[in-house]
Amino acid sequence: FAMSPNPNSRKGGLIGLAATAIALGKHINDYLPELVPPVMACFSDQDSRVRYYACEALYNIAKVSRSRLLSFFNRIFDGLSRLAADPDPNVKNGADLLDRLLKDVVSESNSFDLEAFMDLLRERIYGKNPF
């Protein structure tokens, strides 16, 4: 779905992945490597609605998986840092909601790798706006 030329197909795929994550519940950990990468790929989609749906899908995945999602944290943060500068206000809002949830997840977790995150944060602080 992520490579479909039809944006409606990409949005539908994202909705399906989010629903799958919710249905998996506590068993989501085994499927995170299959769920997260296609959603992350849609963070850079040319259609702003697809980018918004990607934020919403990852929000639902994060809501279910909580600290188990931290293995993808650096990639998610990288994508969110780009979406925070998105010209579409809906995408920015979706990214902000996901950002708040991730802050809660990180603050609840004892296994967050702060040193690895600091390197990524340093890169993003001095980066240029992709939009």
DSSP 16-66: HHHHHHHHHGGGGGGGHHHHHHHHHHGGG-SSHHHHHHHHHHHHHHHHHHG
* Span 42-99, pLDDT tens digits: 999 999 999 999 999 999 999 999 999 999 998 999 899 889 999 999 999 999 999 9
pTM, full prediction: 0.90
Burial class (CB in 10 A: 0-12, 13-18, 19+), 103: exposed
The tokens describing 32, both together, are: 């995170």
